Amino acid sequence: MLTLTVSGTIIHGSYLLAITGASGTRTATCPLALEVNAPGFSIAPVASAMEIYAGSSGTDLIAVTDYPGFTGSVRFAVTSALPSGVTASWK
């Protein structure tokens, strides 16, 4: 099992590593792609769709997944235009 440890000062980006195995006079090599990401987070709705009847409201949770090194708080906003007659609020 290969373990790669990435320092906090590495430049974020894509790297292509070469892995070589040897046995006697024989060798084999394979590539290994490494993607180094900055600390951050991702978000996703718990339910991917909502069905709400006219005159009522519905709720959905937005899950936050934090990646190693991220320590901030996350503020949410609806950044697309809402249909006429629909409002959004956050709790």
CA–CA dist 71, 60 (Å, integer):
24
- pLDDT for the residue numbered 47: 92
Q: Which residues pair with 59 in a beta bridge?
A: none
Nearest C-alpha neighbor of 39 from the set 72, 5, 85, 64: 72
- pLDDT for the residue numbered 40: 86
CA–CA dist 16, 8 (Å, integer):
19
Chunked into runs of 10 residues, the chain (91 residues) has average pLDDT values of 89 94 97 90 92 95 90 93 95 88
pTM for this prediction: 0.60
